């Protein structure tokens, strides 16, 4: 059947036409039937009709063959009709499920209510208000921000207002086609196992979504607006983290059409930094008009390109770019004082430099203690842990991916003031105890202060990193992303993860595999289902475990993530060490990608070969 062959305008006839096409699997057909025949789904019929008219069979199969699942950051995905897409139905189900979650905690929890915020993406305000309407219909109060806000401010507001939970309508760093529902519990952190599984079960159990009108919800006192008071307290707390009075660094900043103007820009200007804002990306815009394709993730060099070019022309010391919901911050820095060239830094490099800087400042002020805590995830550079140990600390460096696990550790500390810094390789940084998620404004403040402190001493961030390598040894960290969309892509990812577990390679890139770590328990391996935070396999290529390859399916995007880390001790000729380690790490990456493809059936191998790939 070709695009344009169908001109059906009733749900029943549309369903018969789709069934007759033979292009959808039984699960997708069953879900599609429900979405076309249930009275509460009437609004989606025109969107489904448009997909059928365009013969978008792969899109329909992916949208209707599965249900959105809880990942490392809640529920997120492309906008569109279907249970595996973000739309009014799936957002309503998430809000209804969270209502049931809160119901278990009684009247006081319902009265304390839910903080609700949103970023700039399409339909974000609509989904935020929809969530409030669902909460109100379930007898739960909402504290609704009066406009777009950064995601970490929602985490802050939950703690500041003593709320039971928080919801941010966001897809974070996902493509601009996406949106999502991210939620926090009363500690300001995202829910962790087993509570995330409980929430997902509640989502699956939703049949009826209770709903009231927004005017009625406001009139009955279930929805109140928040804004300036929370903003002031949040920004005051961030500025309280200042580590130096120097403001010598000149800064270029891009909010990338997102919420970074509400937290990053206000923080830096409030602290007296000279900030040049990228004019093309200054205003919030749901269409993200300067996006490179659909990419709006500052982990990618092409997304950082505009602020980097502006920094070089403006003679800036630092270029910063926040992602749309301003919890991540990308950074680039002046290389030297002669060329004016600005180099993009990875999340691992920024995290390592900030760890060394913060511990140095703490030690020099006489405040460093053996109980101080530095935290990172298991796929973040081992250099952070080495630095922490060099300062006499015992880092937490074995956490599963997701800042919710970092928040869980912070929440469990006997003395939260001993928490110094946390980082994850995907541009997430945190200091302080008032936010329980990564925060672009906190990261930006600390990077700009570090750059100022270094500039006053005649150094740049890349120079500082070389000094750190000279002391601790050189690490090369690279992330290989393999994009595998749709049901077939998910099947391929699952087969790759099983293959690595059942038939691990004996060597990679000429290096022998000396150990394997699988975060899945034996029972979970026996009844394997792809996904989940513990679906992680690590292959060690050195006895000290500094050289390693880790594979995991993304919790938020249709991608397999393969993290390569390689290490060599310090040498008098750092440039030669870097070149050798970089080349060996590249060989490791090529070898693991080749190995992953070997375990696939011919059909899935074709999917693997045609997958989109990039190295970060």
Give the active site residues. 172
Q: Measure Cα distances from 80 to 10, 47, 77, 373 in Å.
A: 19, 8, 9, 43
C-alpha–C-alpha distance, residues 131 and 169, integer Å: 9
- Angle between helical axes of 574-598 and 486-502 (0-180°, round to 10): 110
The alpha carbon dihedral of 244, 247, 248, 254 has a sign of positive
Which among 348, 248, 271, 284 has a CA at the least distance from the CA of 121?
284
Q: Are 280 and 306 in contact (CB under 8 A)?
A: yes
Q: If you write DSSP's letter for every residue of 515-577 in order, what string do you get?
A: EEEE-S-HHHHHT--S-STT--EEEE-STTS-SEEEEEE-SSSSEEEEEEEEEE---S-HHHH
To 5 degrees, how large is the angle CA 490–CA 496–CA 500?
Answer: 150
Q: What's the token pair of residue 516?
A: 């394997």
State phi, psi for 597 to the nearest 5 degrees: -70, -25
Cis before residue 326, ω within 30 degrees of 0?
no
Q: What's the token pair of residue 357?
A: 């800087």
- Cα 592 from chain centroid (whole Å): 24
Which among 346, 298, 289, 345 has a CA at the least distance from the CA of 321?
298
Measured in residues, the chain has a length of 616
C-alpha–C-alpha distance, residues 217 and 128, integer Å: 13
C-alpha–C-alpha distance, residues 584 and 581, integer Å: 5
Q: If you write DSSP's letter for every residue of 131-193 in order, what string do you get?
A: HHHHHHHTT--EEEESS---HHHHHHHHHHHT-SEEEEE--TTS-TTEEEEEEE-TTSSBP-T
Token look-up 């982990």 returns 299
Q: What's the token pair of residue 615?
A: 């190295």
C-alpha–C-alpha distance, residues 294 and 335, integer Å: 30
Which among 388, 391, 615, 594 has a CA at the least distance from the CA of 481?
615
Could you count the other beta carbons within 10 Å of the beta carbon of residue 458?
A: 8
C-alpha–C-alpha distance, residues 28 and 488, integer Å: 13
C-alpha–C-alpha distance, residues 399 and 378, integer Å: 5
Strands 511-512 and 515-518, how do they pair?
unpaired
Q: Are 141 and 41 in contact (CB under 8 A)?
A: no
Token look-up 């990618």 returns 300
C-alpha–C-alpha distance, residues 170 and 76, integer Å: 8
Strands 178-184 and 75-78, how do they pair?
antiparallel
């Amino acid at each position: 059947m070709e695009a344009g062959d169908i001109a059906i305008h009733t749900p029943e006839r549309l369903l018969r036409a789709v069934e007759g096409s033979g292009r959808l699997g039984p699960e997708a057909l069953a879900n599609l039937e429900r979405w076309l025949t249930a009275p509460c789904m009437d609004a989606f019929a025109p969107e489904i009709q448009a997909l059928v008219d365009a013969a978008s069979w792969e899109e329909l199969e992916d949208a209707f063959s599965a249900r959105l699942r809880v990942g490392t950051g809640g529920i997120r995905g492309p906008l569109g009709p279907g249970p595996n897409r973000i739309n009014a139905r799936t957002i309503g189900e998430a809000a209804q499920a969270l209502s049931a979650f809160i119901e278990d905690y009684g009247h006081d929890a319902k009265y304390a209510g839910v903080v609700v915020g949103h970023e700039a993406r399409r339909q974000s305000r609509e989904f935020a208000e929809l969530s409030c309407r669902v909460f109100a219909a379930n007898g739960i109060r909402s504290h609704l921000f009066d406009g777009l806000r950064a995601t970490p401010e929602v985490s802050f507001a939950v703690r500041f207002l003593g709320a039971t939970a928080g919801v941010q309508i966001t897809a974070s760093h996902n493509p601009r086609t996406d949106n999502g529902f991210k939620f926090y519990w009363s500690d300001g952190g995202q829910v962790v196992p087993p509570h995330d599984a409980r929430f997902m079960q509640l989502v699956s159990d939703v049949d009826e979504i209770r709903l009231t009108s927004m005017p009625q919800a406001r009139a009955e006192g279930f929805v109140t607006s928040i804004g300036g008071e929370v903003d002031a307290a949040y920004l005051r707390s961030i500025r309280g983290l200042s580590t130096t009075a120097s403001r010598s660094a000149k800064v270029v900043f891009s909010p990338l059409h997102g919420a970074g103007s509400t937290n990053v820009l206000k923080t830096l200007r409030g602290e007296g930094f000279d900030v040049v804002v990228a004019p093309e990306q200054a205003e919030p815009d749901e269409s993200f008009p300067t996006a490179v394709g659909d990419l709006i993730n500052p982990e990618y060099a092409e997304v950082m390109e505009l602020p980097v070019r502006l920094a070089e022309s403006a003679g800036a010391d630092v270029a910063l770019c926040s992602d749309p919901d301003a919890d991540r911050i990308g950074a680039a820095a002046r290389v030297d004082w002669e060329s004016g060239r600005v180099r993009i830094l990875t999340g691992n490099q920024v995290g390592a430099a900030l760890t060394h800087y913060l511990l140095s400042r703490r030690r020099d002020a006489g405040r460093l203690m053996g109980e101080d805590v530095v935290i990172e995830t298991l796929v973040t550079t081992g250099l952070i842990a080495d630095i922490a140990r060099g300062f006499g600390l015992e880092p937490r460096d074995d956490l599963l991916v997701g800042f919710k696990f970092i928040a869980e550790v912070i929440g469990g500390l006997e003395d939260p003031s001993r928490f110094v810094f946390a980082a994850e390789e995907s541009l997430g940084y945190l200091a302080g105890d008032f936010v329980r998620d990564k925060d672009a404004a906190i990261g930006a403040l600390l990077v700009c202060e570090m750059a100022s402190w270094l500039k006053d001493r005649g150094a740049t961030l890349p120079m500082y990193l070389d000094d750190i390598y000279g002391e601790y040894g050189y690490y090369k960290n690279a992330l290989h992303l393999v994009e595998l969309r749709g049901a077939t892509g998910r099947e391929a990812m699952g087969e790759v993860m099983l293959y690595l577990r059942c038939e691990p390679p004996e060597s990679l890139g000429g290096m022998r595999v000396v150990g394997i770590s699988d975060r899945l328990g034996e029972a979970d391996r026996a009844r394997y289902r792809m996904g989940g935070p513990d679906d992680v396999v690590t292959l060690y290529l050195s006895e000290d475990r500094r050289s390693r390859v880790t594979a995991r399916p993304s919790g938020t995007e249709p991608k397999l993530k393969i993290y390569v880390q390689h290490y060599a001790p310090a040498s008098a000729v750092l440039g030669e060490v870097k070149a050798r380690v970089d080349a060996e790490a590249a060989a490791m990456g090529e070898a693991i990608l080749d190995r992953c493809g070997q375990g696939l059936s011919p059909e899935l191998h074709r999917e693997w070969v045609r997958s989109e790939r990039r190295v970060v």
